[in-house]
Amino acid sequence: MSASTAVGLVSNSLRNLLVGEMSLGLTVVVTVLAPDESSTDRRVNLFLYRIEENPYLRNQDATVRPGTPGQLTPPPLSLSLYYLMTAYAPNDAETGNSTAQQLLGEAMRVFYDHGVVPASYLDAGLQDAREQLQIVSKSLDPEELSRIWTTFGHPYRLSVLYQVSTVQLDAKPAQPVPLPQRVHQVGVPGIHQPAGRPAVLDLTPRSVPAGGAVVLTGEHLAGWQGSVSMGGLELLSRMELTADSVTVTVPATSMPGVYDVRVDVAGLFRRTFTLEVTS
């Protein structure tokens, strides 16, 4: 459903159902009036006396707008409609209200046999509705029923209550909401596990001048990340190792002396070498 007129179209659809399916052999008019509004003497009346928002559908997610698959529309207003069904017929001197009771029973049978309003009885404005109209009999609260008849100043007549749901009225957003881009492909990161545990076996040479280079050699180093520091100064930081040896340059500003060279391979191997820096 879309327009707010759908509430009235639902009432028309229920009337169409009763007119098309009641079969008592009597001419019966189906009206949609308030209890204080007069009509023909023999009739079944549907009075819409209460409308409630469906609390379970209030927080629905936005849906795709029909005809525009690239836009989202806010969730619709979902309503439950409550109808009071009452039968009217002239009283007989001997049988009293029996004719009205027959009419009410036949109307109840129709609603019982058609728990979902068939498409053939839907008003033209509801033919493209995405939801079904379900009819459920509800128990009457005596106090509520008394207030209804007292409000209209008419004597009580035998009545039955029905709930019709769900009636959805589409919202009208101030501006269309674009549909987020779909994920066409999800990347899977490559996982590489080297064959053996990494180890740094040697540092050569053990004595170099400032600005010179030393070579760290080992086994199973390729594929891991290595870090090297000298005297607290970081020379390599999480460098991706591609071979079983790596060359490190001693800072040219290093003062002559003996330094600790600390090596860390992905937290799996740590070792400290001694290096002499000459003048």
Q: What is the pLDDT of residues 234-253, one digit of tens each?
A: 988 989 988 999 999 998 88
Residue 95 lies in a domain: yes
Q: Which residues pair with 230 in a beta bridge?
A: 233, 261
pLDDT at 157 over 80: yes
- Same structural domain for residues 81 and 120? yes
pLDDT at 160 over 80: yes
- Give Cα separations from 1 to 16, 54, 70, 123, 192 (angstroms): 18, 15, 20, 11, 56
Q: What is the mean pLDDT of the chain?
A: 85
- Same structural domain for residues 169 and 214? no
Residue 144 lies in a domain: yes
For 38, residues 6+ apart whose C-beta sits below 8 A from its C-beta are: none
Nearest to 58 by CA among 180, 171, 179, 172: 171
- Same structural domain for residues 67 and 137? yes
Q: Is the peptide bond before 198 cis (omega within 30 degrees of 0)?
A: no
Q: Which of 158, 173, 188 is the last residue of a domain?
A: 173
CATH classification of the domain holding 14: 3.30.2000
pLDDT at 174 over 60: no
For 272, residues 6+ apart whose C-beta sits below 8 A from its C-beta are: 260, 261, 262, 263
Q: Dig out the tokens for 77 from the structure.
A: 């207003």
- Same structural domain for residues 18 and 138? yes
Residue 47 lies in a domain: yes
Residue 185 lies in a domain: no
- Same structural domain for residues 75 and 146? yes
pLDDT in tens, 46-92: 999 899 988 877 777 776 666 666 677 777 888 999 999 999 988 88
Q: Who has greater pLDDT, 196 or 278?
A: 278
Q: Can you give the pLDDT at residue 56?
A: 78
- Same structural domain for residues 57 and 152? yes
Residue 10 lies in a domain: yes
- Same structural domain for residues 159 and 207? no
Nearest to 200 by CA among 270, 103, 256: 270
pLDDT at 171 over 80: no
Residue 190 lies in a domain: no
pLDDT in tens, 26-36: 788 999 998 88
Q: Strand order in 225-230's β-sheet?
A: 207-209, 269-278, 257-265, 225-230, 233-240
- Same structural domain for residues 162 and 205? no
- Same structural domain for residues 18 and 53? yes
Residue 193 lies in a domain: no
Count of structural domains within the chain: 2
Residue 46 lies in a domain: yes
Domain, as residue range, for 226? 199-278
Cα–Cα distance measured from residue 136 to residue 26, given in angstroms and rounded to the nearest whole number: 26
- Same structural domain for residues 31 and 94? yes
Q: Which of 173, 189, 219 is the last residue of a domain?
A: 173
Distance between start and end Cα atoms, the chain: 89
Nearest to 246 by CA among 254, 257, 256, 235: 235
- Same structural domain for residues 216 and 89? no
